[in-house]
Amino acid sequence: MAMLQEPSTLHDPAQAIDPALVAGKAVAPGARRPAKAALDAEQLTSFHTNGYLVIRNAFDEATLNRFETAARSHPPVDQVVVGKQYPAAGRWTLARNAMADPDLAFIMATPEMTEPMRAVLDDDPKIIMFAYYDRTPGGAGLPSHNDYKRWRPIGSSMRWAFAIVPLCDFDEEAGKLEFVPGSHRVAHSPDPYAPVWNAERPTPPTEDQFIDPELKRGDLAIVDMHTWHRAGMNNAAHHRTGLFTKWCAATQPPATGWFPFNDEVRRALGPDGEHVLGFSSPLPITGTSALLERLRPEGGQVLFLERDGKLVLPAGPAVKEGSIPDWDEGNYIGGLSDALAAEVRTRPTWMSYVGDYPEGDGLSRVYAYRVPPHAWGIHPKGAVWLSAAEAAARVDELAQPWAADAVAEWQRTDMVRGKAVSEATGRADQYAC
């Protein structure tokens, strides 16, 4: 696969990548193409210019009431608030696989939700985060920040956006949600040595740049992945609640791998809605594997190791690292990096998600890394380097028969992948590598 050599560009989902990279991409099975565009040209221009768009009264009261009634039956305690119990003052979360309740899941598959996201992402939209937030009376706000994070399954795609539905007015009393227009314009550029893209470090805005879009109950706020935002303290007597979800472009998966939604979530979405999930499985992710690729004149070659008469990929455990306490899961780079250091004496500075493949009673989450040409090289005992065609031809020799498919998946040219890092690396530097 040839190295990408496109010039650096500002992040704009409509212009951020060379069209050749996504030429020929197909609509995912089950995806619904609307007869009419959900957003008009003026709305799309506003989103790309400001980094956010507000659609007023996007959801009717029947939809909001159905969702709220279900949310009240699930205490929002998926994220620990140290030293407190719900409903003490704080920011409480209902997330993870809570979407397995059909009366919560249904809103994610409504055209009022999916079609605006399809328009701003210019691709089939896939759920990367479902979260219902309840900031109880007296709960503190959040300082200014942006949510592109290389270590998070819910933040490491190269093209994603929020879909926020306030369930009460986000006003001065309950706590405004404020944005900085234009702060989403962060440079995206291809890595010079690998088929992955990089997001540059942003310039933090000043506090006087924030504006209040005056979000009301039932509005839909669509917010770019790089847009800076902040939230005020809840000084009201009522709870400040809202649905805060994240969606990525189907052809630009999270660099860490998808959040592991289970099949109960897929069933809750139903046959008309399951297409919005990028990942679900009844099987746990129990292991990890690495595609370590090098470039040769004839193309890319991936490292296999001869073990007991078979060819195997370097592998490691699926470790929930926990360096950053939060509810999102799916980043297993830390454990795999440690295993690579022990087995082949290399520790990649980044890795990028390829796919999840059945292995034993679970799944192996596969990550890839291309060794830069100026590196010393990786030559462990029993090393065998195979191209995608050679791996397919020798599939009977592979201890993991799916490995040939994984190599071919990594070498696809219609996917846009980012760089992911371990939680420990991200904790030290949000924009590492």
Q: Which residues contact 18 (CB under 8 A, 6 or more apart)?
A: 4, 6
Where residue 113 falls among pLDDT bands split at 50, 70, 90? very high
Helix, strand, or coil (residue 276): helix
Q: What is the pLDDT of residues 24-34, one digit of tens each?
A: 223 333 444 44
**Separation of alpha carbons 378 and 358, rounded Å:** 27
- Average pLDDT of span 235-260: 98
**Per-residue pLDDT at 36:** 55
Helix (H) / strand (E) containing 364: strand 362-370
> Confidence class of residue 322 from pLDDT cuts 50, 70 and 90?
confident
For residue 94, give the 3-state DSSP assignment.
Answer: strand
Instruction: Identify the band that residue 375 occupies on the pLDDT scale cut at 50, 70 and 90.
Output: confident
What separation in angstroms does the CA of 428 have from each of 141, 199, 324, 350, 421?
A: 24, 17, 10, 14, 11
Min mean pLDDT across 150-164, 326-340, 355-369 is at 326-340
Q: In the predicted model, is pLDDT for residue 306 greater than 80?
A: yes
| Cα 2 to Cα 191: distance, rounded to the nearest angstrom | 12
Q: Which of 426, 80, 121 is nearest to 252 (CA)?
A: 121
24 compared with 283, residue with greater pLDDT: 283
**pLDDT band of 282, cuts 50, 70, 90:** very high
pLDDT at 1 (0 to 100): 32
Confidence of residue 379 (pLDDT cuts 50, 70, 90): confident
Confidence (pLDDT) at 20: 32
pLDDT value for 19:
31
pLDDT at 126: 98
Q: Has residue 326 got a pLDDT over 80? A: no
How far apart are the C-alpha atoms of 229 and 224, rounded to whole Å? 10
Average pLDDT over every residue of 113-140: 97
What was the pLDDT predicted at 37? 66
List of domains in the chain: 38-276 (2.60.120.620), 285-428 (3.90.79.10)
d(CA 196, CA 200): 13
Q: Is the pLDDT of residue 144 over 60?
A: yes
**Which pLDDT score, from 0 to 100, does residue 323 have?**
86
**Per-residue pLDDT tens over the stretch 82-101:** 899 999 999 999 998 999 99
- Whether residue 173 has pLDDT greater than 90: yes
Task: Give the pTM.
Answer: 0.91
Mean per-residue pLDDT over the chain, rounded:
91
Pairing of strands 362-370, 285-296: parallel
